[in-house]
Chains A and B, each alone.
Chain A
């Protein structure tokens, strides 16, 4: 229920951004659908097809109805069909949005999931080690690297890695190749994006993990576990790690959701044909239907990721299971 409300609110906000703000500032929203060069008749046609004169809430309703039953845009004798599930129709590129989304989503998902596997592995491990060896040389150097990692803009890291590993050393032949064409070339093309994205997040996760772990190790139940005579690996692995992972999972849910909606910066820097690149292009061209579609997918991804995280909480943290 909360999920549905959330989605509707998000879509209303997007409609408002692209209808009300242009209207206040004296721009006709209909022109945004067809471009500046279009003639008055085309603009009028779009206005009728999209029912742009109707109140915003009616437009939002029509949009959601289209997802479930498909939608027909009609203006006089000119009819455009958009089959179910209709996430809108781009009158600029003359295509339905759903195929664009399903085409782009896999690239972004593979990027996000691959990077997430890397950053969870290295970020959490580095954070835990730092917390356990607090104040040692390892701890200090890991935290210096992590601080540098969170201070580097990702598009700069991306460009440097391209300049060094592709152009400079020639180790990697970057550039996106579809998996079906050549799995080897695809892997090479995804390697730098994965590592670059993972580096930023691993740095963030290492900092959070270390702070959480230090706090957890001071808790009473850790002392109890030690007092029971449990070995240190069991105390850390079975008791401390469980509550350390709770905030990490929360972050993971939000980060993964946001990334699936488009790792805009990474995709731009590496020219990956994912959702982020599509939405950036759409924003620059004011192609509202594409933007709406991507925003909806992103919001869905965030919500699904959070649901999965909630389930994982129960698996990891016994306190959640009890309540």
Chain B
């Protein structure tokens, strides 16, 4: 299996799961997914990033359990730990102690560790969910534009061009800031998270749409699509059985590259005061309040900053690895 004579290329790869029914010795072919996984396994940096991402997801999901294990709540104030004169935590390194593993916040004395753990929920939720929004919209509209062409293609392409040259951060801030405090039965942080997910996702879809449209345009001219058509396959069949399976790879690559960008955008919005607001915890919001205390309490700035950095870096490392692994031209 080290050097197969015939490596299936993108278009020849059977859909994932196809090889499951084939006896092991019969065919030497490997699915695209398996080739990618074998390449990814050799990429130690990407695997490391992937492991950190997994740990972060666990931390976010198990946040209530973790904070109750250390006996701290992200909302409980400990004003007795704050120097009344400077509003900064008493003790060195931002009040780090056995009770407060990463110290406490200036002014309120809330436990930083618990807030970092809960902040992971916000970052990952917005990061993943807005990527899903962008990918669903981008894939549907990109395939529509590329597959059906004509005026539909013109309209969708123009809209994508326009959205791409919008001053995006400005519009995201504006949209998030005009949203009401209550909608769809959600209140406060819930509304802001929901709006952030929708708006970030909405501004992300043209990036996916552009790639998907281009891929669809080139794929629909391939011989195997002609073959399917000449066998009497309908448009719907071609779309779902012939085109979409081959779009999975570029979509996965885009998804992994989008999540860290979205996490950074969420942090930026919360930093600017239009995203998650206290007492709810978000890393960007923590950095924003640290802006007034970075001289007196640098730890309070460094901890949420490192949390964002490590998270985004891990996603980027993993994303780069996935991209290289799925690249049909790659040889690694």
Contact = CB atoms under 8 A, between A and B. Distances in A.
Given A17-B175, A167-B295, A147 B320 contact: yes
Given A153-B308, A264-B169, 20 more contacts: A6-B162, A10-B166, A17-B174, A17-B175, A27-B180, A151-B309, A152-B308, A153-B264, A153-B284, A155-B268, A156-B287, A156-B309, A159-B291, A163-B295, A254-B165, A258-B169, A284-B177, A284-B274, A298-B167, A302-B165
Contacts of B274: 283-284
A298 to B, nearest CB: 4
Interface residues on A, range: 35 or more
Nearest to B166: A10
Interface of B: 162, 164-171, 173-175, 177-180, 183, 260, 264, 267-268, 271-274, 284, 287, 290-291, 294-295, 298, 301-302, 305, 308-309, 312-313, 316-317, 320
A91 interface: no
Among B162, B165, B175, B287, find the residue whose CB has the most chain A CB atoms closer than 10 A.
B165
A165 B166 CA distance: 35
B301 A159 contact: yes
Contact of A160 (B183, B264, B301, B312): B301
A148 interface: yes
B124 to A, nearest CB: 15
Given A153-B267, A291-B174, A163 B167 contact: no
Interface string A132-168: 0000000000000001101111011001101100010
B324 to A, nearest CB: 11
A80 B24 CA distance: 83
A51 to B, nearest CB: 20
Contacts of B301: 156, 159-160, 163
A220 B290 CA distance: 54
Contacts of B260: 151
A235 B175 CA distance: 49
A127 interface: no
Contacts, number: 120
A18 B178 contact: yes
A254 B206 CA distance: 15
Contacts of A14: 174
11 contacts: A17-B171, A18-B174, A22-B178, A25-B180, A151-B260, A151-B316, A155-B271, A160-B305, A261-B167, A299-B167, A303-B165
Given A264-B169, A268-B272, A284-B273, A152 B175 contact: no
Given A156-B309, A268-B272, A167 B178 contact: no
Contacts of B167: 257-258, 261-262, 295, 298-299, 302
A294 interface: yes
A265 B271 contact: yes
A234 B294 CA distance: 50
A57 interface: no
A150 B257 CA distance: 12
A21 interface: yes
Contact of A264 (B164, B170, B313, B320): B170
Contacts of B175: 17, 21
Nearest to B284: A153
B170 A147 contact: no
Contacts of B164: 254
Nearest to B165: A302
B274 to A, nearest CB: 7
A286 B309 CA distance: 32
A269 interface: yes
A230 interface: no
Nearest to B313: A151
A153 B305 contact: yes
A299 B168 CA distance: 11
Contacts of A177: none
Interface in A80-126: none
Contacts of A291: 174
A62 to B, nearest CB: 21
A280 interface: yes
A163 B178 contact: no
B183 A25 contact: yes
B309 A162 contact: no
A258 B316 contact: no
B332 to A, nearest CB: 11
Contacts of A26: 180
A311 interface: no
B317 A147 contact: yes
A279 interface: yes
A134 to B, nearest CB: 13
A307 B198 CA distance: 32
Contacts of B174: 14, 17-18, 283, 291
B312 A155 contact: no
A167 B179 CA distance: 38
B311 to A, nearest CB: 8
A27 to B, nearest CB: 7
A163 B298 contact: yes
Interface in A291-318: 291, 294-295, 298-299, 302-303, 306
B170 A294 contact: yes
Interface in A208-264: 254, 257-258, 261-262, 264
Contact of B294 (A151, A163, A258, A283): A163
A153 B295 CA distance: 19
B182 to A, nearest CB: 9
Given A22-B178, A167-B295, A159 B287 contact: yes
Interface string A159-189: 1101100010000000000000000000000
A159 B178 contact: no
B268 A265 contact: yes
Nearest to A166: B295
A17 B295 CA distance: 39
Contacts of B165: 6, 254, 257, 299, 302-303, 306
